[in-house]
């Protein structure tokens, strides 16, 4: 379809001709400038890799509904997008993250088995931080003619943008016009990985790449830029590993083929690079750079990483309930805990692993992700990761929320035969921890089995009110029992 006519004059170069995202650039800036960010990111990758390595370890087995606030920052009429355009974007997200999008059937046959339901939905917030009713949309008039990812200036009222709502309760999305990166290149959007400053946490999207109506303009008029950026917000990397075209990068996902670099436009299947024939690149994935109409799926491995983020760094956001095609049952949607999470463990490890190990324990992990890249990030700090504590201590952030039981933080069930600790990992590689012999272990395993049984019953719609109450109470007990192990 031809480009939409603008209602007001605007710079002619404010819309990129092909997809470009500044998330990796923002990540590198934070590594250079924010004290502690590198260590936090390393901790998050350790926990993520550990959860992904143990199939079934992610505990939000139901669906998570995330409250969204959209900050519309506008100078022109076109940039002041309508409520309907905002809602069209929410609708796209709910299709894409539940694998309900009609175009998922366009996935080439060899990759169709990879298409996965992320079990995440989105809704515009109905209550603001002060407890007042809201439609989940704020509007800010600005005199700024452009915004820059390097300065994050759209995220602050003091620089012509809009201040965020609390990032531990809401997904903040900003829309604006003429978005640029540090090299003054036009952007479609960018996001902040988990673990960054709360004041800048969220997603930024160009207004003409937001939603499916109004100012949304082809080839970025199907809402997939926001799907892509929220993937980053949930700890997904670009599918080629952000190594340029070197075939040595890694997105830390086992079921995404290695790729030489980003794909643009609408490639023809198969597009073979890095010796990944016969099927080639997974260019139809949301985390590549193709046009909106050419991307339509997440993989199971990517879903595991996103769910690990919700159980870890994003554990305070959203509500959970059994997945239902017709939406959430109001009587079982409850908020996740925001306090008392750290009471279970008083001491946190001060050091991390010195370096990723080269071999996984053969009796623990059968299927491993692709080889860890030589560099965790470009120009990685030399002291990015340090040695793990030898006393088996846990980071309190490892105690994360369970699937559908919101009364207390829950860690992953202890696997039979592995003792009272689970491996710490970096980038999907595990470091085995000694265990065994703890008299509490059988009890922990029994309680863990009960929790999984309750979870299965909830998803099937057969959980009684009495068992639902037991489920919530046992989840808190389970977390405390696991805290006593090791």
State the catalytic residue, choosing from 25, 45, 95, 229: 229
229 assigned to active site? yes
Region label for 370, one of left (φ > 0), alpha (ψ between -120 and 50) or beta (otherwise)? beta
CB atoms near residue 37 (< 10 Å): 19
Q: Give the Cα-Cα-Cα angle 97, 468, 307 (nearest 5 degrees).
A: 25
| Separation CA 409–CA 337 (nearest Å) | 8
Radius of gyration for the alpha carbons in the chain, expressed in angstroms and rounded: 22
CB atoms near residue 98 (< 10 Å): 16
CA atoms in the 13 A half-sphere facing the CB of 8: 10
| Separation CA 280–CA 296 (nearest Å) | 17
DSSP annotation of 377 reads S
| Separation CA 416–CA 445 (nearest Å) | 7
H helix intervals, 234-330? 300-311
As given in the structure block, the two tokens for residue 155 are 């995220």
Length of the chain: 486
* Largest distance between two CA atoms of the chain: 73
| Separation CA 32–CA 381 (nearest Å) | 8
Helix (H) or strand (E) holding 320: strand 319-321
| Separation CA 86–CA 93 (nearest Å) | 11
DSSP annotation of 415 reads P
| Separation CA 82–CA 94 (nearest Å) | 19
| Residue 251: burial class (beta carbons within 10 Å; 0-12, 13-18, 19+) | buried
| Separation CA 113–CA 255 (nearest Å) | 10
In sequence order, what DSSP letters do the residues of 26-46 get, joined into one string?
Answer: HHHHHHHHSTTHHHHHHHHHH
The residues that are catalytic are 229
């Amino acid at each position: 379809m031809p480009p939409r006519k603008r209602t007001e004059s605007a710079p002619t170069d404010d819309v990129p001709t092909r997809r470009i995202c500044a998330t990796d650039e923002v990540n590198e800036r934070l590594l250079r400038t924010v004290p502690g960010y590198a260590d936090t990111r390393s901790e998050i990758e350790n926990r993520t890799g550990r959860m992904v390595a143990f199939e079934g370890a992610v505990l939000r087995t139901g669906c998570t509904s995330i409250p969204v606030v959209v900050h519309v920052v506008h100078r022109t009429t076109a940039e002041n997008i309508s409520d309907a355009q905002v809602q069209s974007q929410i609708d796209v997200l709910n299709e894409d993250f539940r694998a309900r999008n009609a175009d998922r059937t366009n996935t080439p046959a060899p990759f169709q088995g990879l298409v996965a339901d992320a079990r995440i939905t989105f809704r515009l917030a109905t209550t603001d931080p002060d407890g007042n009713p809201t439609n989940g949309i704020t509007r800010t008039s600005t005199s700024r003619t452009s915004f820059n990812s390097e300065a994050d200036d759209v995220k602050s009222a003091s620089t012509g943008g809009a201040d965020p709502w609390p990032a531990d309760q809401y997904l903040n999305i900003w829309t604006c016009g003429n978005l640029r990166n540090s090299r003054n290149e036009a952007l479609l959007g960018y996001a902040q990985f988990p673990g960054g400053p709360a004041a800048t946490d969220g997603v930024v999207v160009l207004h003409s790449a937001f939603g499916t109506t109004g100012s949304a303009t082809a080839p970025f008029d199907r809402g997939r830029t926001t799907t892509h950026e929220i993937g980053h917000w949930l700890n997904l990397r670009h599918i080629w590993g952000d190594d340029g075209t070197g075939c040595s990068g890694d997105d830390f996902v086992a079921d995404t083929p290695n790729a030489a670099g980003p794909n643009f436009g609408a490639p023809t299947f198969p597009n073979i690079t890095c010796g990944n024939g016969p099927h080639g690149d997974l260019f139809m994935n949301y985390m590549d750079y193709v046009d909106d109409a050419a991307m339509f799926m997440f993989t199971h491995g990517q879903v595991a990483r996103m769910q690990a983020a919700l159980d870890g760094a994003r554990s305070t956001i959203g509500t959970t309930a059994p997945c239902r095609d017709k939406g959430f049952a109001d009587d079982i949607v409850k908020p996740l805990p925001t306090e008392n999470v750290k009471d279970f463990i008083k001491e946190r490890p001060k050091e991390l692993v010195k370096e990723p190990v080269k071999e996984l324990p053969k009796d623990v992990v059968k299927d491993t992700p692709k080889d860890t890249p030589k560099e965790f990030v470009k120009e990685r700090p030399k002291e990015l990761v340090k040695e793990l504590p030898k006393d088996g201590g846990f980071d309190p952030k490892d105690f994360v929320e369970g699937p559908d039981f919101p009364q207390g933080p829950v860690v992953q069930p202890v696997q039979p035969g592995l003792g009272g600790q689970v491996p710490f990992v970096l980038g999907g590689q595990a470091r085995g921890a000694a265990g065994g012999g703890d008299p509490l272990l059988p009890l922990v395993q029994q309680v863990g089995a009960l929790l999984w049984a309750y979870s299965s019953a909830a998803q099937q719609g057969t959980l009684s009110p009495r068992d639902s109450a037991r489920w919530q109470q046992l989840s808190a007990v389970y977390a405390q029992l696991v805290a006593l192990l090791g």
